[in-house]
Amino acid sequence: MPRTININGLIVTDDDKWYYDFLGLSANAPKDIRAALNDANGDDIIVNLNSNGGDIFAGSQIYDLLAGYKGNLLIRVVGIAASAASVIACAGKSEIAPTAMLMIHNVSSYTEGDYRKMAHSAEVLQNANKSIAAAYCRKTGLSEKELLALMDKETYITAEEAVKQGFIDKIAEYGDESEPKKGLALAASATGLLPEKTINRIRAERAKTQAKLELIKLKNLK
């Protein structure tokens, strides 16, 4: 039997994962996938993917980990693979549930500053879009121009269209067990990613709590 890796919920960085764990929110970091792949040690793997996306660089790391896995691996889109998760969906042999979807769009970020900062941020985002499109190009054979146009429009892609355009290899068939075949940085509009200000506030509260605990320890030592 193949091993199963479930990627449900948000795609986040290794450093930010604990915030989501602390709040009881579903999230996936590269370190989670790396650990699961190391544990599989070359065994067949099925990756069940249902995510609105998240951090593009974390998504890129997960893409690289899955694409570089030495064993047989099958990615199954079972709900939605949006934004960074749509990049992950392109990391290997894949299939999609008839009711599932993909969504691709431009990279977004939070920026503050003057016109020079804004202009620089725009350039960075355009380059990030091209980096993401590279994964789509490799999987689909579509041109960068075609893919960037789809990303501009924030395109939702049905299962049938995902296969037709080459993002996914096949629509899942039921009745036979799906087995892996031999061979072989985005967030959706409402991903639920925590705002930077919220993360900073939680980080500050955690630091205060740790400082209080250290003070208590020092008092107990006296």
**Rounded Cα–Cα distance for residues 152 and 154 (Å):** 6
**Rounded Cα–Cα distance for residues 204 and 136 (Å):** 39
* pLDDT above 60 (res 221): no
Sign of the C-alpha dihedral computed for residues 136, 141, 145 and 151 taken in this order:
negative
Tens digit of each residue's pLDDT (9 = 90 or more) over 60-74? 999 999 999 999 999
The total of other beta-carbon atoms located within 10 Å of residue 101's CB is: 18
Output the pLDDT for position 218. 58
The two tokens of residue 110 are 């939070």
Single pTM value for the model: 0.79
User: What residue segments make up the domains of the chain, in order of their start?
Assistant: 3-191, 193-222
**Rounded Cα–Cα distance for residues 82 and 111 (Å):** 22
Output the pLDDT for position 101. 97
Q: Which residues, 6+ apart, have CB-to-CB distance to 182 below 8 Å? A: 72
Q: In whole numbers, what is the pLDDT of the chain averaged over residues? A: 87
Tens digit of each residue's pLDDT (9 = 90 or more) over 163-217? 999 999 999 998 655 455 443 334 454 556 677 777 778 878 877 776 666 666 5
Q: Which residues, 6+ apart, have CB-to-CB distance to 47 below 8 Å? A: 4, 5, 6, 7, 66, 73, 74, 75, 76
More confident residue, 202 or 3: 3
Tens digit of each residue's pLDDT (9 = 90 or more) over 102-111? 999 998 877 7
Average pLDDT of span 41-47? 96
Residue 23: pLDDT band by 50, 70, 90 thresholds? confident
Output the pLDDT for position 184. 34
Assigned architecture for domain 3-191: Alpha-Beta Complex (3.90)
